[in-house]
């Protein structure tokens, strides 16, 4: 039976396999599908003494080692990735995880709580808990275990906590990515965990209108970020950012938003506006309003006024 070699170009790393001609196409498609479905590996990097960030398994997470225990920022996506995060902690310290601070309610940041001990203290903005409760009732995305809902609720715009000898400043500048965003500042280390207010996998901000997020609120929150005494910003997704990076994202978004609003005032349609600002058309059956592009967000907001 004639055999042939196929070079797979479906990933950045090309591979060759031997297959029989009759099954070549099937093997190629299956191999590409498998390569595309492979989750990103967990990678943990140190930011400062006792402070780390971990990518992979969902949104970025923080690991902060205190005197007797560990505080985690965001808990990944699933039971499995939550367990992987706890395994990353165990590589760094034998100290137990005592606290989790959530930046917002999206499933890729909260559902990994299923792996965490029941005694852990879960800290989040009050609106974050409301959004999680709504997700549980709806059985949809962002529905964590009911027994792992936030137990310490933040209701002020600014709260300072000392957790196991480490100082945290928790900031909420109103609705932005969602209605329950928390920005987490480690003042001594000058490190900020932004949640998905900053997420670098897209040029435009991700705004969940269905959770109360707004483009105006995003501008306000990101302006607040720029004003912090910090040098390192860990986004909800992507590599660490500098203040210059945040300023550039804020400037670009503010200018684009202003242009969109001007075109709306001229009576332009969403399609005309997308063409003018270079946004792609929305994808049918896409992931929801938060992924529709800045044009769709700002246009929808204009209809509410």
pLDDT tens for each residue of 81-91:
999 999 999 99
Does 138 score more than 70 pLDDT? yes
pLDDT number for residue 11 = 39
Residues with Cβ within 8 Å of residue 227, at least 6 apart in sequence: none
Fold of 42-249: Metallo-beta-lactamase; Chain A (3.60.15)
Is the alpha carbon torsion for 269, 272, 274, 280 positive or negative? Answer: positive
pLDDT band at 41 (very low <50, low <70, confident <90, very high): confident
Task: Give the best-scoring range by mean pLDDT among 30-39, 176-185, 270-279, 286-295.
Answer: 176-185
Does 212 score more than 70 pLDDT? yes
By the 8 A CB rule, do 289 and 208 touch? yes
Domain ranges of the chain: 3-36, 42-249
pLDDT number for residue 291 = 55
Give the pairing type, strands 121-125 and 152-154: parallel
Q: What is the pTM of this model?
A: 0.86
What single DSSP character describes residue 284?
T
pLDDT band at 190 (very low <50, low <70, confident <90, very high): very high
| Spatial strand order in the sheet of 61-65 | 43-48, 51-55, 61-65, 70-73, 97-101, 121-125, 152-154
pLDDT number for residue 145 = 79
Among 55, 14, 48, 51, residue whose Cα is nearest residue 31? 14
Does 60 score more than 90 pLDDT? yes
């Amino acid at each position: 039976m004639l055999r042939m070699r196929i070079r797979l170009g479906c990933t950045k790393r090309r591979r060759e396999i031997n297959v029989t001609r009759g099954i070549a196409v099937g093997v190629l498609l299956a191999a590409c599908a498998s390569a595309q479905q492979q989750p990103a590996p967990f990678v943990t990097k140190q930011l400062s003494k006792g402070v780390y960030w971990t990518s992979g398994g969902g949104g970025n997470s923080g690991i902060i080692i205190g005197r007797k225990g560990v505080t985690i920022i965001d808990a990944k996506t699933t039971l499995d990735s939550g367990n992987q995060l706890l395994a990353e902690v165990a590589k760094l310290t034998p100290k137990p995880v005592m606290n989790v601070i959530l930046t917002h309610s999206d499933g890729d940041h909260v559902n990994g709580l299923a792996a965490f001990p029941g005694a852990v203290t879960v800290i989040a903005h009050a609106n974050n808990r409301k959004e999680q409760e709504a997700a549980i009732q709806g059985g949809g995305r962002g529905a964590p275990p009911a027994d792992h809902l936030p137990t310490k609720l933040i209701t002020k715009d600014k709260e300072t906590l000392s957790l196991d000898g480490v100082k945290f400043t928790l900031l909420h500048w109103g609705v932005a990515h969602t209605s329950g965003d928390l920005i987490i500042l480690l003042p001594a280390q000058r490190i900020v965990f932004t949640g998905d207010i900053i997420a670098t996998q897209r040029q435009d901000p991700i705004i969940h209108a269905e959770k109360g997020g707004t483009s105006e609120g995003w501008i306000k929150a990101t302006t607040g970020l720029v004003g912090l005494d910090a040098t390192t910003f860990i986004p909800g997704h992507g590599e660490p950012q500098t203040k210059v990076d945040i300023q550039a994202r804020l400037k670009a978004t503010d200018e684009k938003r202003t242009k969109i609003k001007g075109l709306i005032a001229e009576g332009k349609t969403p399609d005309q506006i997308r063409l003018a600002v270079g946004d792609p058309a929305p994808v049918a059956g896409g992931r929801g309003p938060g992924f529709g592009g800045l044009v769709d967000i700002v246009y929808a907001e204009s209809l509410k006024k």
